[in-house]
Structure 1
């Protein structure tokens, strides 16, 4: 939700800055997510001042140019070359000083520099209105009629003040703050100063009418209150500049004066309004009813035909034909157009459930439904109607043509809530003076209707909570309101207070990390296994076997279970074999376990390891595509995700010489190997009688826990787009993609967000011992949109470093 600071100050004057107001609102629960400076015209005319032309002479070398001297209020007259035909001595003019950047009505911005024009020095520019973005005229310079001193900023003369827009992350329970007046009410309590509704005392409506629009509410439960006013003499056209500026400040585009007024009042007071073309209301009657009986397609203002349901609450004419989805969207047939001269202005209170049901059914989310779904204030119905009528009189020449219609059979009163003062202290955790509580409640429009003491002598109050506070219905809700305004920061921490912490601790719990990674792998379809730590020594015989480090049992119970495993792989392969032999050939397994090793000094040590196994098909066969065999990227992707969950980011890679793997990679975190991955060697598969390929990864769990870094990093979502560029890089066979990736990341550390390879080609066209990587680069600047020049500069630096460090040839 966007709130204009200037608009807000018309409802609650304050001398506090926008940043101070933002901090107050955030502290009370209306989180201000960002502050955006708004300017009436780009640049805000910074560096542009008022001046006086002291002298004017013809330029000696140009017939259409003049040499002038101009006083800009700093005691040093400027010589300025001017091409305008109407420049003359004695004029009050607008002067752009050296260093100012102008944003013309048409064309690109340009900076004023000290220059020579036809040999004559020029120290600024005397401006026409199109040159500073104030209009389209370029017939001559602007000549002003003012007594303001020279040097006065032009922005002050033209009234081009800046505004600030608050972006508030409105939570669903704070429907009371979904408007400028709602935020002003919040500030009234925080600042303890009055907030003012717009003055509608001048509103007058006739007591009789020759032609009126009647209202019949058939479903009072869904529409407890419906008010309306007939206006004639309406002239539909563009809104005045002040109204358009207000709407633009909160991100809305002006449409016409009638629609703009309804949008203005919605965002000012929080009460949705709708304007019907009164001449299109058949029978001069409004029916508020369910759509049952008319379930044909209904065309809304956006030109979409929608199939109504029996539960939809609609605004219909005398024949029952729908003209609007109540509280959600208007109909095209009854909408205001350029030819409209009579308007029926609707202001109503619809039950949240009725609007929510219609909004959900038709997938329509509008500013009106947003507020009705959360709950509006039935007491704002008439003030908003009067406010809109007065504005339409001002901007569209409208006149009230009939008495105000207000169908309100069962008025909705305030909510009664019991408040026990000892309960306030218990929940807040701090004693608050009753006088302060009374003041806060008064500032929140919560009345104390009765005061008494219970049997234990504790003070209790009976409160009347206004209807606009739709979420305050219980004692605990009132206490939350008191605490918000009292200030969370004003509650002192006591020695016995306890709390949970979200901060990162220097020594993470290994068990918590294990559960986190287990949940990650299980979510990817892996199954956890648990195997025996005692295995057969025969698995570790042969070349490269770690005989000298194997821990042997002195008194084994079996000749096949006689050593403590130095690797999880053999025992895991036994599990794979067991499943494959039972026709469960597609497996994704993981195990947390210990390995055991004999040290050189004769002692032993245990190491914690995480092992991953993949075999069979990665995807099952379907009618859409054939089955796909598990491949190394499936294994590597799982390993990288585990490392990422532990805060290690994109790991570096290098070849590995693991004794049980037929090739593969070692992955490094902080320049230390933490994982090895590859295909299980054929001899070991044969020895364990596993009849299909198996991919295996072994992660050093102890090292990963020691080097753990909190992986949660929060940053603002980028406002500027990402750009992709591709290169085809030809290198020697020995050069890996990881080398190219590291070269790229070292070369461009600011703009380069990621590097990816999407194709690898080897063939006779490249020459012997060569291969080609097709590489994509994602570039992004979080402060501005990247220009083609900046992108080209980055790519040229990358190409130069690839050629220099990797001996690459860039294919065109």
Structure 2
């Protein structure tokens, strides 16, 4: 599991270096197997500076090339041969200086070297946005703000984000730590034992409210054993478009490819809180009905990856009044996913039976971020909270309105698991005695409720 240190610091303000934090996480049972660096732009634009085009003349030996003299903030200006049609005298431009490493869209490195082009020396390269990884445009060079000072590092202008990512070897029994929030909670508890008290910052959903009730869907769960809790809400008048850079960077840091603001919001909340969500294009939900059920063996279903799958009679599916739309808790269908044409969605947040999800995922050879969490057992009490969090984030990113009440089908509330922890057993497992007050403090900091305290141990509720 990958955990972004910058993201982690959104939950707990910490100024430790990554190695020190990794040591504490490992001591807490969240073994950090490695730390990798992340840059929102590969290479971080190192060696790329602002240049001022002092002169621009036709190349004497080539009709389509220009001979420029550029001030790059060095002792003296440099000559650069440029083939861009839009290069002009007086422009401020990004210049890759000699020795700079740039990267192709495929990630292959290439180094800027001093050279001769049609008999004229060239000491660097004036860059287009695609050559810097800032976009896909290659019609001409990138023209910068005229007020920028020559020699200024372009990394300062484009705010390159740098992060460190922990690779955590998560054991199957640590479902509570399958998110940035879960890891931050453990970190807070560990810091407290070092007499460092830090606040655990929880995303607020207090601003959640229904704007209107113009898009209501009927929701039915046929077997509550397979879906003990199922929540959903609709949002309308959305504008689906690329996500802002901050969100793209969070996802890219942990190895996810950004898609659009709605899908990215659901993935963000999944890795933030550990609760998988799914967004359906509401206009493609036939009959305005959501039915959670199994289908006959042999039913064909096309998943988002374009593969047709043959369903088993025990596979739990999310269906509309006419067709299956999603393999519950695992993978969406190709016909109801969010696209740039989507304007309204049904947003799902649920708790599915871990055994059912595990069997279905194994049958179909699928392992997704959602199934990874459902198989291990998420927190059923977080389902509605995560739904509100995701709905508010989607509104922030895509505009629109919340256009229905939350549907929350939770017919049989799961009782909290109660245990009695004996001090003797604790000492035996640890190989040392810890003061009872310390044990209680650790458990409380992990959101475990202490119901009773006796000389023999603690009555706990989880």
Normalized against structure 2, the TM-score is what?
0.84
Taking a change above 3 Å as real, the CA distance of residues 50 and 237 of structure 1, as seen in their structure-2 partners, is: closer
**Residues 401-447 of structure 1, C-alpha deviation per residue, up to 9 Å, x if partnerless?**
11111112333343222223344333312232334323322221122
- Hey, what does 1:225 align to over in structure 2? 229
Which residue of structure 1 aligns with residue 458 of structure 2? 461
Distance 2:79 2:12 in 1: 46
The CA distance in 1 between the partners of 2:49 and 2:214, in whole Å, is 58
1:11 and 2:11 aligned:
yes
Q: How many positions carry a matched residue from both structures? A: 449
What is the alpha-carbon distance in structure 2 between the residues aligned to residue 118 and residue 229 of structure 1? 64
Which residue pairs with 1:79 in the alignment? 78
**Are 1:278 and 1:342, in contact at CA under 8 Å, matched by a contact in 2?**
yes
- Segments of 5+ residues of structure 1 without an aligned counterpart are 466-812
In the alignment, what sits opposite 1:183?
A: 183
What is residue 253 of structure 1 aligned with on the other side?
A: 257
Instruction: Kindly state the Cα deviation for residue 61 of structure 1 after the two structures are TM-superposed.
Output: 6.7
Alignment match, 2:205: 200
Are the structure 2 counterparts of residues 152 and 191 from structure 1 closer, same or farther at C-alpha, using a change threshold of 3 Å? Answer: farther
The 8 Å contact of residues 31 and 170 in structure 1, kept in 2 or not, is answered as: yes
Given the alignment, which residue of 287, 293, 296 partners 1:289? 293
Mapped partners of 1:130, 1:223: distance in 2: 47
* 298, 317, 320: which one aligns with 1:317: 320
Residue 59 to residue 256, structure 1, CA distance change in 2 (3 Å): closer
Change (3 A) 1:216 1:109: closer
- Following superposition, the deviation at residue 59 of structure 1 comes to 9.2
Cα distance change, pair 306–114 in 1 and its aligned pair in 2 (3 A):
closer
Equivalence map 1:663-678=2 (5 Å): none
> In 2, Cα distance between the equivalents of 1:41 and 1:419?
50
| Cα deviation, residue 368, structure 1 | 1.6
Q: Conserved in 1, the CA contact under 8 Å of 2:50 and 2:72?
A: no
Please tell me whether Structure 1 or Structure 2 has the larger radius of gyration of its CA atoms.
Answer: 1
Unaligned 5+ runs, structure 2: 193-197
Distance change >3 Å, CA 362–CA 66, structure 1 → 2: closer
Name the CA shift for 1:115/1:211 in 2 (closer, same or farther; >3 Å): closer
CA distance in 1, matches of 2:416, 2:233: 26
Instruction: Provide the TM-score with structure 1 as the length reference.
Output: 0.50
Kindly indicate whether the alpha-carbon contact (under 8 Å) linking 1:347 and 1:381 is maintained by their aligned counterparts in 2: yes
C-alpha displacement of 1:270: 1.1
- In structure 1, how many angstroms separate the alpha carbons of the residues matched to 2:250 and 2:446? 27
Distance 1:48 1:330, change over 3 A: closer
Distance in 1 of aligned mates of 2:282 and 2:58: 65
User: After superposition, where does 1:723-762 map in structure 2 within 5 Å?
Assistant: none
Please say which of residues 441-450 and 17-26 is displaced more in the overlay.
17-26
Which aligned pairs between 1:82-93 and structure 2 lie closer than 5 A?
A: 83=82, 86-88=87-89, 92-93=92-93
Q: CA-to-partner distance for each residue in 1:424-479, whole Å, 9 max, x for gaps?
A: 333312232334323322221122222233xxxx4x222222xxxxxxxxxxxxxx
Instruction: Call closer, same or farther: CA 1:145–1:389 in 2, change over 3 Å.
Output: farther
**Shift in alpha-carbon separation, 1:27–1:56, aligned structure 2, 3 A:** same
From 336, 339, 344, the equivalent of 1:342 is 344
The aligned runs of 1:15-26 (5 Å cut-off) are 15-26=15-26
